[in-house]
Amino acid sequence: MSNHVTLIPAAPADENSGPPDTEGMNLIGKAAPAFTLTDLSGKKVSLSDFKGHPVMVNFWATWCGPCKLEMPWIQEFSAKYQAQGFQVLGLSQDDGASAQKIATAAKHIGVSYPILMPDEKVAKEYGGVDYLPETFYVDRAGKVVQVTAGAPSKEQMEALIQKTIAAGGA
């Protein structure tokens, strides 16, 4: 289990950028913190609804440029790996923003996977998530197998999705 861990630091082109926030990496190998949030239509969505599925929990915000650049890849992989049960949940970190504003941004970015409204408590349970995008790859057993802080390359993201799909039993 632990030999599957891959740390993907944000890949800043400038070597002077410091290390990313790694608080969330402490969750690797542990059960993904449970949550129930509302989606943009007001419907309750729980992580436990997707038990038995590999799930990507992607924290993002409308003001985060790198988030918006990686989200179309997530949309593409969501469709590509749908047959293997792969699910994506996009957790907005736009505190104070209306569902309409977040929905408009999501539509503009071109994503159709569930976008969930912000909840500071959930972000805290995932290590603070003070560095966006931050993505948690949760296996079929509900365990966090990978964490990335910052946008990885598209190839890295797909490799992590494949590992997550392959990891963990139902």
Three-class secondary structure of residue 71 per DSSP: helix
Only one of the segments 25-33, 37-45, 49-57, 81-89 lies at the binding site for another protein (rule: CB under 8 A); that segment is 25-33
The CB density around residue 124, as the number of other CB atoms within 10 Å, is: 12
Q: Could you tell me the strand order of the sheet in which 55-60 lies?
A: 7-8, 144-149, 134-138, 55-60, 87-92, 115-116
141-132-78-43 Cα dihedral, nearest 10 degrees: 80
The answer to whether 56 and 161 have CB atoms below 8 angstroms apart is yes
Tell me which residues in 68-87 interact with another protein (CB under 8 A). Answer: 68-70, 73
Q: Map residues 90-129 to x or -, x wherever contact with another protein holds by CB under 8 A.
A: ---x-----------x---------------------x--
CA distance 23 to 34: 17
Tell me which residues in 147-166 interact with another protein (CB under 8 A). Answer: 149-151, 154
Q: Kindly determine how many residues on this chain lie close enough to bind another protein according to the rule CB under 8 A.
A: 47
Only one of the segments 46-54, 59-67, 82-90, 160-168 lies at the binding site for another protein (rule: CB under 8 A); that segment is 59-67
Residues that bind another protein (CB under 8 A): 2-3, 5-7, 9-23, 25-26, 28-29, 61-70, 73, 93, 105, 127, 130-134, 149-151, 154
